[in-house]
Amino acid sequence: MNIDYPSAVSKETRLHRVPALPFSGGREVNPLRIADWLVSGARAVAQQPVLWLSVMLLCADFATLLGFLPLLRPLAVLLAPLVVGGLMFVQDGASKGQPVSLRETFAALARRSNALCVIGLYGAAIVAVGYVVLLATFHVSLNASVTASGVHNVSISYGGDHGVRGALESLLGASIFAVAIASACFAPALVLLHDMTPHDAMLASLSGAARNWPVTLMYFAAMTVAVLFAPMVPLALRALVLTPVMTAVPLLSLYGAYRDVFLGK
């Protein structure tokens, strides 16, 4: 992997002139535009149904598999930006009336693979650092004491709290996940379609999501509720209905949201 990519894009990857980004930090849009984003995604599916349905079913199956094999989650961190970036590239071609082939999609992903993987690593780092801070703040306490003989004792205790501190910890934990997701949601499109570095793309993505916090909150709340209640749903219903729906809605609406927020159209 090219470790210099996060700070500078290599000349070899600049094979095409990239379109300008009118709103580099994003702009605020009407939350009712969600319906138009989904319609835009549905039109892309209608143009290449086999490709889209195959990818969405594979994503849903992989998400179900993660529930049984948690050790695969690090792999999901690296694959998610590649999948999202590929679908954004496909939908961008469809929106211009120039459907792209799988070969063209894989070629575009190969040119930006380092950057897309870095997005996943940055997102994981945000969550990891955030949870280390939470652990140190809410679960670890340092106690110092001096005995009668003058010996100094230092003890570290670990424990949880189910009261107000526990509720605050849960809220902050959810906020950390929200920041990581907001930083990564638009970043693959910005890297692949506008040749941005991962760092700049994630900052722009976070800015765009923050400017549209009602929509971001709506999506995150729906995902949180689905994750919390998923274990209560029968396995067959979860695998065949809940997971595919929760996978399809973000994937179908993401490109329309990117165009509205960053391109203004």
User: What is the DSSP annotation of 88-156?
Assistant: HHHHHHHHTT-PPPHHHHHHHHHHHHHHHHHHHHHHHHHHHHHHHHHHHHHTEEEEEEE-TTS-EEEEE
d(CA 101, CA 108): 11
Residue 200 confidence class, pLDDT cut points 50, 70, 90: very high
Residue 238 confidence (pLDDT): 83
Residue 209 confidence (pLDDT): 95
Take residue 261 and report the two structure tokens written for it: 């927020």
Residue 133 confidence (pLDDT): 78
Residue 15 confidence (pLDDT): 41
Q: Has residue 225 been placed in a domain? A: yes
Taking residues 192-217, report their average pLDDT.
94
Q: Has residue 14 been placed in a domain? A: no
DSSP-assigned beta bridge partners for residue 153? 145
Domain with 87, as residue range(s), is 34-263
Cβ neighbour number for residue 166 with a 10 Å cutoff:
12
Q: What is the number of residues in the chain?
A: 265
Which uninterrupted H or E stretch holds 158?
Answer: strand 152-158
Residue 143 confidence (pLDDT): 54
Q: Has residue 120 been placed in a domain? A: yes
Position with higher pLDDT, 154 vs 245: 245
The total domain count for the chain is 1
* Chain segment 8-42, per-residue pLDDT in tens: 444 444 444 566 788 888 899 999 999 999 999 99
Q: Has residue 26 been placed in a domain? A: no
Residue 141 confidence (pLDDT): 54
Q: Has residue 21 been placed in a domain? A: no
Residue 7 confidence (pLDDT): 44
**Highest mean predicted confidence (pLDDT) among 20-29, 95-104, 129-138, 185-194:** 185-194
Q: Has residue 16 been placed in a domain? A: no
Residue 229 confidence (pLDDT): 82
Which uninterrupted H or E stretch holds 40?
Answer: helix 34-47
Determine the 3-state secondary structure of 157 from DSSP: strand
Q: Has residue 186 been placed in a domain? A: yes
For Cα atoms 115, 119, 123, give the angle at the middle one, nearest 5 degrees. Answer: 165
List own/partner pairs for 46-54 with CB under 8 A and 24 or more apart. 47/94, 47/99, 48/90, 48/94, 48/99, 51/90, 51/102, 52/87, 52/90
Percentage of the chain lying above the pLDDT 90 cut: 42
Residue 162 confidence (pLDDT): 60
pLDDT at 262 over 90: yes
pLDDT at 220 over 60: yes
Percentage of the chain lying above the pLDDT 70 cut: 81
Q: What is the pTM of this model?
A: 0.81
pLDDT at 2 over 50: no
Q: Has residue 232 been placed in a domain? A: yes
